[in-house]
């Protein structure tokens, strides 16, 4: 593999949409419910080799640092509680 430029968040999300969502069960190509993309969908795309570890790291950093609205954890907030 040669040098690959870092992917944009939009590119990563487009890759995630190729997988079905494990949270809301949206089919490939169909957007998630709740106005964003569920984190589980990114993880599924990673497991299927569509997203790289670097891509997934980018997504996780966005969740922690800025809580971008692209990431929805189910709408109940229960997955946001660590303890």
Q: In terms of CB distance, is 11 or 34 closer to Zn ion?
A: 34
Distance (Å, rounded) from C-alpha 47 to C-alpha 43? 6
Per CB under 5 A, 32 contacts Zn ion: yes
Of the candidates 23, 55, 56, 59, which one interacts with Zn ion according to CB under 5 A? 23
Q: In terms of CB distance, is 6 or 69 closer to Zn ion?
A: 69
Per CB under 5 A, 59 contacts Zn ion: no
Distance (Å, rounded) from C-alpha 7 to C-alpha 67? 19
Distance (Å, rounded) from C-alpha 3 to C-alpha 15? 19
Distance (Å, rounded) from C-alpha 37 to C-alpha 74? 10
Q: Which residues bind Zn ion (CB under 5 A)?
A: 21, 23-24, 26, 32, 38
């Amino acid at each position: 593999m040669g040098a690959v430029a870092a992917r944009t968040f939009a590119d990563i999300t487009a890759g995630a949409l190729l997988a079905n969502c494990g949270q809301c069960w949206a089919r490939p190509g169909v957007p998630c419910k709740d106005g964003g993309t569920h984190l589980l969908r990114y993880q599924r795309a990673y497991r299927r080799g569509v997203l790289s570890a670097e891509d997934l790291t980018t997504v996780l950093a966005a969740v922690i640092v800025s809580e971008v609205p692209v990431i929805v954890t189910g709408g109940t907030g229960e997955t946001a509680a660590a303890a």
